A = this chain, B = another copy of it.
Amino acid sequence: MNTHTPRSRLVRNSRVLRRADVIIDAAARVFAERGYHGTSTQAIANVLGMRQASLYYYFPSKEAALELVCARGTDGFVEAAEAVVEGAGAPLDKLARLIAAHLAPIETKHDYVKVFINERRYLPTASRRRIGRKSRRIERCFEHVILAGIADGSIDPGTDARLAMLAVLGMCNAVINWRAADQTRDMDRIAAEFAKLVASGLNARRRPPTANP
C-alpha cells in the first residue's frame, strides 16, 4: 500500500485538491449570494451540476463548508496586515498601505471575503472564536499603527484609536456590499481615496498623508 511513487501521489493529491477547490468555490459563491442559511446544499450542487449528496464526499456538513469558506476568506489578510505593520514607513503611510492590503482581497477573493464578513456569525462557537482571533489581529494592526501615529506626533493625540480603527474597517468592509452594484472605480483608486479621507478628511486644505509636523 505504501509502494506508490511520490509522483503519482502528488498528481493525485493535486487533482483532488483542485476538485475540492471547485466545490468550495461554488459553496462560497452561493453562500455569498444567498447567505448561509438561505443556501441549501441542493443549490450548491445545482451550480456544480452534481447531486446534492455527492457534496458530502468533500465536506462532512454544511457548517464545515462554511467554516472552510470563512477560513479562506481570512487567508492572507493577517499576514499582509502584519507585514505592513512590521515594515518601514510613517504611520499614516502604513495606514494607507493597510487599507490597500485590506481592500485587495475584496477583488481577488470576493465571495470568500463576503462570506467571511457577512456569515461568520453563524459559525458554531468554537470555529467562530478561532476565526474571531484572526479578526482581532487585523484590528490590532490598524489600531497599532494609529497609536504609533499618535506617539510620533503625526496623528492628533485626541484621537480615539480604537474608534478610528473601527471606522476605517467599517468603511473598508462595506465596500464588499456595494462593489457589485458599482464597478466604476478600481480598487486602487478606492484605497487611495479612503486613505486620503482617513488621513486628511474632506476639508478643503487637505494635506498629503505623508506630511509630518
Contacts and interface: CB of A to CB of B under 8 A. Distances in A.
6 contacts: A92-B203, A156-B205, A164-B202, A167-B193, A171-B174, A201-B203
Across chains A and B, which 8 residue pairs bring their CB atoms closest together, nearest first? A170-B174, A37-B37, A201-B201, A200-B201, A170-B171, A37-B38, A167-B171, A171-B171
Interface in A193-212: 193-194, 196-207, 209, 211
Nearest to A168: B171
- Number of chain A interface residues as a range: 35 or more
A57 interface: no
A213 B205 contact: yes
Interface stretch (A3-11, A47-55, A75-83, A146-154): A146-154
Contacts of A37: 34-38
A92 B202 contact: yes
Secondary structure at chain A's binding surface: helix, strand, loop or mixed?
A: helix
Interface of A: 34-38, 92, 95, 118, 121-122, 146, 149, 153-160, 162-164, 166-175, 178, 182, 185, 190, 193-194, 196-207, 209, 211, 213
Contacts of A175: 166, 170
